[in-house]
Amino acid sequence: MTIRALSYVGLETADLDRWIGFADEVLGMPSTRDGDDRALVRMDQRVYRFDIRQGTSDRLAWLGWEVSSAAELAETAEALRARGVEVVPGDPAESKARRIKDFVVAHDPAGNRLEIFYGQESDFGPFRTTRPMEGYLTGDLGMGHAVIGVADLEANLRFYTEVLGFRISDLFKDKMAFLHCNPRHHSLALVQSDAPGLRHIMLEVRSLDDVGMTLDIGIQRGAVTRRLGRHTNDEAVSFYLETPSGWEIEFGWAGFQVDDANWSVRQIAGATSLWGHQPIDGRESFATAGREAAGARKST
């Protein structure tokens, strides 16, 4: 059983038009409307990475975790059931709507909806961002990483490592766990918190210039929440943007990649940033505000 990557994210938003504008103007991502209440946002040759639905609130709806084949999907579903986790087969109509071959639905101990799937559609023609960019680092690394607050760190850490097969990259003061499922330093980070929910999604670009130009756009729009900085563990140079939903996008470059053949779990003794990442005018968006609107809700 192998989870390959974080490959898509489902969002509910109260303002779909604002999200489309944010993706287009700030992130350089083209979007396609699917009816009046849905937008599919692209980063690369995959037909979408963000599936954004119009709703009454702003929240993380699901995380799409990729496996390589029907056999691996069946193996993963069986492993989940063997540990007492409820697994619901994906509806064929929903598979078609999600542009994937097949999927199953489970929930982690925090109630986050996980869609484990294989066979996402790709458009192998030239992909063009909405503004000049070298583009995003995706491929086998997936779309980036997600950081999620959970009330019970240990229970969720056991679930992701013992049941889904994630590997620990780093631990931080018994408050955070950074987990990888491919060479990206972490595709998921769990944060012990009394205010569960999505903290941020990290997107990695291929050049420092892409970071700088996006930083300029974010400053002009008043969307930057934390200054440019470099993290100590994954070494990414990044800054943070507030999304239309209130949680953050970490926008970065040059993240460290893990080689499982010689990797040992580390504990972070100092700060999580080597330099920078100071909040702008006291703003840190959802990272410390305890806002629950962007949190995950359990649904099937």
pLDDT of residue 292: 35
Least confident piece of the model among 57-61, 158-162, 267-271, 296-300: 296-300
Can you give the pTM of this predicted structure?
Answer: 0.94
Q: Is 139-287 the same fold as 5-118?
A: yes
What's the rounded mean pLDDT across residues 201-223?
Answer: 98
Please check whether the domain covering 5-118 is classified as CATH 3.10.180.10: yes
In the structure, what pLDDT confidence band is assigned to residue 177 with cuts at 50, 70 and 90?
Answer: very high
Residue ranges with strand state E in 46-140? 50-54, 59-66, 88-89, 102-107, 113-118
Q: Return the H-helix or E-strand segment holding 12.
A: strand 5-13
Over residues 86-94, mean pLDDT: 98
pLDDT band at 281 (very low <50, low <70, confident <90, very high): confident
Residue 2's pLDDT is 87
User: Is 290's pLDDT higher than 50?
Assistant: no
No. of H helices and E strands in the chain? 6, 18
* Percentage with pLDDT > 90 across the chain: 92
Inform me whether the pLDDT recorded for 299 exceeds 50: no
Closest CA to 260 of 190, 165, 175: 165
What integer best gives the mean pLDDT of the chain? 94
For 31-63, write each residue's pLDDT tens digit. 999 999 999 999 999 999 999 999 999 999 999
Question: Mind listing the pLDDT tens digit for each residue in 95-128?
Answer: 999 999 999 999 999 999 999 999 999 999 999 9
Give residue 294's pLDDT band: very low, low, confident or very high (50, 70, 90). Answer: very low
155: how many CB neighbours lie within 10 A of its CB? Answer: 13
In this prediction, residue 284 carries a pLDDT of 55
Q: What percentage of the chain carries pLDDT values higher than 70?
A: 93
| DSSP line for 184-214 | BS-SEEEEE-SS-EEEEEEEEES-HHHHHHH
Which of 80-84, 188-192, 279-283 shows the lowest mean pLDDT across its residues? Answer: 279-283
- Six-digit token string for 54: 């119009």
Give 245's DSSP letter.
T
Band of pLDDT at residue 287, cut at 50, 70 and 90:
very low
d(Cα 218, Cα 242) in Å, to the nearest integer? 9
Confidence of residue 216 (pLDDT cuts 50, 70, 90): very high
State the average pLDDT over residues 259-276: 96
CATH 3.40.950.10 fits 139-287, yes or no: no
List the chain domain ranges: 5-118, 139-287
